[in-house]
């Protein structure tokens, strides 16, 4: 472990604080990005349903085949009723949770379940 030649306070300013600042800025920026792109993932057909408070039945399309991890994640938001290819069908999702799901960057699209999905 090398002893620093610089005054102690300067060391702190150079390593730990910079590190925390970088982490904070990067994290904040990323969250901002997620929040702004979230509405784009929700199908317009759902917009009216979102304003009502009723639980929704949605089809969440991903860019890849979902793994057990994703099924369990969606299970915490509602009731997973099936998987078709890259789409997961989830029932009883609240509007609040729907917006949360839309924030995930790996979600491609959220549409109503009545649509035929691939």
Partner 1 sequence: MERHWEIASTWVLILAATIAAWSLGAATLPVPDYFLPPPSAVLSAFLELIAKGMLPIFIAESLRRIVLAAFLGLFVGVPIGLLLGVSRATADFAYPVLNFFQSVSGIAWLPLMLIWFGFGERTILVAVNYTVLFPVIFNALLGIRSVPQIYVNALRTLGASRWRIVRDVLLPGALPNIAMGVRLGLAYGWRALIAAEMLVGANGLGFMIFNAQTFHLTSRIMLGMGIIGALWVALDYFLLRPLEEATIARWGMVQR
Q: Which residues of the shown chain bind partner 1 in the complex (CB under 8 A)?
A: 1, 3-4, 8, 11-12, 15-16, 19-20, 62-64, 67, 69-70, 73, 104-106
To partner 1, the closest distance from the beta carbon of 48 in angstroms equals 28
103 DSSP assignment: T
- Cα-atom radius of gyration of the chain, to the nearest Å? 21
Closest CB to partner 1 among 51 and 63? 63
- ∠ at Cα 95 (112, 80), nearest 5°? 60
To partner 1, the closest distance from the beta carbon of 99 in angstroms equals 17
Closest CB to partner 1 among 5 and 54? 5
- ∠ at Cα 63 (107, 31), nearest 5°? 30
Residue the block writes with tokens 């925390």: 20
Closest CB to partner 1 among 8 and 54? 8
């Amino acid at each position: 472990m090398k002893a620093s030649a610089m005054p102690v306070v300067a060391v702190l300013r150079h390593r730990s604080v910079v590190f925390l600042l970088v982490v904070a800025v990067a994290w904040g920026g990323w969250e901002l990005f997620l929040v702004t792109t979230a509405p784009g993932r929700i199908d317009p057909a759902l917009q009216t349903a979102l304003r009502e408070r009723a639980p929704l039945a949605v089809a969440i399309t991903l860019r890849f085949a979902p793994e057990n991890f994703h099924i369990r994640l969606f299970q915490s938001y509602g009731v997973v009723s099936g998987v078709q290819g890259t789409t997961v069908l989830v029932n009883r999702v609240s509007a609040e949770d729907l917006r949360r799901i839309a924030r995930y960057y790996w979600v491609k699209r959220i549409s109503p379940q009545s649509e035929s999905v691939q």
